[in-house]
A and B are shown apart, each in its own frame.
Chain A
Amino acid sequence: MDMKIKEKIAFFFTSMRNVFSFFLRLGLKTKKTKIFYLLSFLPILMALIIKFSQVFSNGRQIEGIFIFSNMIMVFYLQFLILILALFFGTSVCSEEVEGKTLTYLVTRPIPKPAFILGKYSAYTLIVILMVAVGVIFSFVILNVDNLLDFSRYKIFLRYMAVLTLGILCYSSFFMFIGTFLKRSILFGLIFSFGWENVVQYFPGSTQRFAIVHYLKSLLPPSSGGRFSFLLFRLEPSSPGMSIFMLFLITGIFLVLSCVVFSLKEYILDD
């Protein structure tokens, strides 16, 4: 490879790393992150309440892994990762425009795509950490009696991987809409709780137009439990196809975000 191209690529990745460390440090300090951390701790609280009520009740005990699966289906997959990806993904660009801090970034010697990808990586990592903390603690609390049953860890890891893929994919999509729409949150809410919630239940191949279809296709076969109606009408894609589609969607929206951010003119209102 030509030396100049190699240097340019190295420069790009160094810039991306610098942006990543800047926004990882900043992102962990913001009020928004603290509030969403509290929200992501709700399942831990729920898990504690359930466990305590089980300890003090004499009725039939429900399996911890069963409750855990329900929690992932209802709270994480259908709600939390969407909300977190929406607020962090759209803010990659929009918080810089609204806070007028964009001016500091676009007057630095960094390629604009390196800024977008670096900040996306930082915010996505923050969201993954937030979700992981809640998921790990809920899992441990609910399965405290069976922590030596290693088959449960397999299920746990599979759920964690699905949630991570979901965060990557949704964040890239929401980042893209944040780069060109002023009211990106409103559009994101309509997409999350309108489109995604409805289209996934359409019969045939139409449901493949929802990201959540591919995420649900990757869930362990025993998923759902009491909330198995959430898998109603799911005609799952193969795991390979689902993973490919999730990475493809993520890649497409990352590229589109970089292109829009490089070409669009952001006017910071006085």
Chain B
Amino acid sequence: MMPIIETKNLSKWYGNVLGLSDVTLQIDSGVTGILGPNGAGKSTFLRLITGQLKPNIGTVKIKGKKVRNNYSLFSIIGFCPEQDCFYDELTGWQFLASLLKLHNFSNDEAEQKAQKALEIVELSDDKNRVIRSYSRGMRQRLKFAQAIAHDPEIMILDEPLNGLDPLGRRKIIRLIKTYQREGKTIIVSSHVLPEIEAMTKKIILIHQGKIFAQGNIHYIRDLIDTHPHIISIKCSHSRELASKFIHEDYVLKVHFDIASNSLLVETNNRDKFFSQLPSVLIENNIKVDEITSPDDNLQAVFDYLIGK
């Protein structure tokens, strides 16, 4: 069966800078996550497969047809760009309806579809406000709405969860899963593993313009889980908390910072640590101000994996 999206030896340079190198992929329907740190080449890949960029080497095909300058394909593609860019003078409603009219929908159809998309992303109440006055999260939702408004078969979403609050994120994730069940092809990029994990099990890891790994989430999870994680906890009784964990075999190191009243824990089993932490905190009545995972960024994980 013909893959929905197919790239062969896809490479792109920006002058002397490598954007993407020798990417050969086949993407079928369902959700595919493109995961990589900032600057890894995710956006370059997505712009190449939507024909916005010309590859230096290689080919891109969607449903067996070349993409660049093949405008008819865009009636089945929805693209959500990463950049926060809009026609700020328009209202959310005008923005959506105008873009839908560029799909050659009649005025009535365009308005119906715009209304539906605005309802989906919960912007109906603010549809008559100019985009300039929208918050970051609202702008992100509007960007998402323009990608789904024409009900495309293929959705290409570049960091769609950026700038959204946890509720907004959950809502978009749920939507993406719904589209998956409807048989659509969705490509989502992100630099946050848990975000991708929440949407799909099919992941492509991209780093320094190259496909670093590709496959099921569990395989990639296994790769990542072998990497020790550092977790920082700011709390009222850091020494007491440390004493509760120090004997655990999955805790490798504990480091105090008295000045900031925080504690750094290094663990080789992040999931287990996080599953035990709430009960320890409750039992010992320890108040937590902040939990961060300074090491829990993809760049660190990639550096670790490549070093390996």
Contacts and interface: CB of A to CB of B under 8 A. Distances in A.
Nearest to B50: A107
Interface string A47-80: 0000000000000000000000000000000000
Interface string A182-201: 00000000000000000000
Interface string A1-43: 0000000000100110011011001100111000000000000
Given A29-B89, A107-B52, A108-B74, A15 B43 contact: no
A99 interface: yes
A172 to B, nearest CB: 22
A99 to B, nearest CB: 6
A15 B90 CA distance: 20
Interface stretch (A142-150, A206-214, A227-235, A261-269): A261-269
B3 to A, nearest CB: 20
Interface string B103-131: 11000000000000000000000000000
Given A22-B101, A107-B74, A267-B53, A99 B85 contact: yes
A146 B18 CA distance: 71
B99 to A, nearest CB: 6
Interface residues of B, number: 31
Given A111-B71, A270-B83, A103 B52 contact: yes
Given A107-B50, A109-B72, A267-B14, A18 B102 contact: yes
A22 B77 contact: no
A26 B87 contact: yes
B71 A112 contact: yes
Given A22-B102, A109-B104, A112-B69, A268 B89 contact: no
B102 A29 contact: no
B89 A109 contact: no
Given A103-B52, A109-B75, A267-B53, A30 B104 contact: no
A211 B231 CA distance: 69
A105 interface: yes
Given A18-B104, A30-B89, A103-B85, A110 B94 contact: no
B89 to A, nearest CB: 4
Contacts of B72: 109
A154 interface: no
A112 B74 CA distance: 12
B81 interface: yes
B102 A110 contact: yes
Contacts of B14: 267
B69 A262 contact: yes
- Which of A18, A31, A103, A108 has the most CB atoms of chain B within a 10 A radius of its CB? A108
A106 interface: yes
A101 interface: yes
Interface in B33-80: 43, 50-54, 69, 71-75, 77, 79
A15 B43 CA distance: 28
Contacts of A15: 102, 104
Given A100-B83, A101-B86, A106 B51 contact: yes
B146 A104 contact: yes
Contact of A110 (B43, B71, B83, B87): B71
B208 interface: no
Contacts of B81: 100, 103-104
B10 to A, nearest CB: 15
A100 B51 CA distance: 15
Contacts of B77: 107
B214 interface: no
Given A103-B79, A103-B83, A270-B43, A108 B103 contact: yes
Nearest to A99: B85
A110 B102 CA distance: 7
B188 to A, nearest CB: 16
Contacts of A105: 102
Contacts of B54: 265
A21 B87 contact: no
- When A and B form their complex, which 10 residue pairs have the shortest distance between CB atoms, in order from nearest? A100-B85, A29-B89, A108-B102, A109-B75, A107-B79, A109-B74, A265-B54, A103-B81, A22-B98, A100-B83
Interface of B: 14, 43, 50-54, 69, 71-75, 77, 79, 81-83, 85-87, 89-90, 94, 98-99, 101-104, 146
Interface of A: 11, 14-15, 18-19, 21-22, 25-26, 29-31, 99-101, 103-112, 262, 265-268, 270
18 contacts: A15-B104, A18-B104, A22-B98, A22-B102, A25-B98, A31-B89, A99-B85, A101-B86, A103-B83, A105-B102, A107-B50, A107-B52, A109-B71, A109-B102, A109-B103, A110-B71, A112-B69, A268-B52
Given A26-B98, A107-B79, A267-B53, 13 more contacts: A22-B98, A29-B89, A103-B52, A103-B81, A103-B83, A104-B81, A104-B146, A107-B50, A108-B103, A109-B102, A111-B71, A270-B43, A270-B82
